[in-house]
Chains A and B, each alone.
Chain A
Amino acid sequence: EVQLAESGGGLVQPGGSLRLTCAASGFSFSSYEMNWVRQAPGKGLEWVSYISSSGSATYYADSVKGRFTISRDNAKNSLYLQMNSLRAEDTAVYYCTRRAHYVGTDYWGQGTLVTVSS
Chain B
Amino acid sequence: AIQMTQSPSSLSASVGDRVTITCRASQGIRNDLGWYQQKPGKAPKLLIYAASSLQSGVPSRFSGSGSGTDFTLTISSLQPEDFATYYCLQDNNYPRTFGQGTKVEIK
Contact = CB atoms under 8 A, between A and B. Distances in A.
Interface of A: 35, 44-47, 50, 59, 61-62, 95, 99, 102-111
Interface string B36-66: 1010000111100110010100000000000
Contacts of A95: 43-44
A95 B46 CA distance: 14
Contacts of A47: 89, 94-98
Chain B interface: which size bin?
20 to 34
Contacts of A108: 43-45
Contacts of B36: 45
Nearest to A45: B98
Interface of B: 32, 34, 36, 38, 43-46, 49-50, 53, 55, 87, 89, 91, 94-101
| Top 10 A-B residue pairs of the complex, sorted by shortest distance between their CB atoms | A47-B96, A108-B43, A104-B91, A59-B94, A45-B98, A103-B49, A104-B34, A44-B101, A104-B49, A106-B46
A48 B85 CA distance: 20
Contact of B98 (A44, A102, A104, A109): A44
B95 A61 contact: yes
Contact of A103 (B50, B87, B97): B50
A28 to B, nearest CB: 18
Contact of B96 (A50, A62, A109, A111): A50
A59 B89 CA distance: 17
Given A95-B43, A106-B55, A108-B43, A45 B101 contact: yes
Nearest to A61: B95
